[in-house]
Amino acid sequence: IENASPVELKYAQLLDMEVELLPEKSLLENVDEWYGVRYRSGGNGKTGVDCSGFVCAVYTALYGIALPRVSREQYRISRKISTTELHQGDLLFFNTNGRGVSHVGIYLGNNRFIHASVSKGVMVNSMFETYYLKRFVGAGRIDDKQMAEPAN
């Protein structure tokens, strides 16, 4: 703990995890750059971002992978996995509008994910909060070798 960075201490608290069990530091540093950025539909910058824009930006910066721009397409190209297989950096998909996949977040560990919420911007929530539990569609993994084509 004495060697933990401020970012690691922040996420140890947000994820309710021991510092030693946190996700890779590069993932935390990358998502933390976005923490608190306000929600804006269609946004993909630090002045406002939506859920899929946030995921695109993180995946490009961290993994060099260009994902499709919309959550439904991100779900389509991801390899479906069970929630028991979740690793940090995997994607969680939700149906928030009653018309299929419409929301995405990045799994960080301990059943917590980071996403751009309409009400509070980029923040961490639990998968088991009633709102998200009722709307959960599935989890997906983007394999490093599975380069996605950018959406037009």
Known catalytic residues are 51, 103, 115
Cβ contact 88:107 at 8 Å:
yes
Distances (CA, A) of 70 to 21, 31, 57, 108, 149: 31, 18, 12, 21, 12
Cβ contact 91:106 at 8 Å:
yes
* Residue partners of 151: CB distance under 8 A and separation at least 6: 68, 69, 70, 73
d(CA 54, CA 57) in angstroms, rounded, equals 5
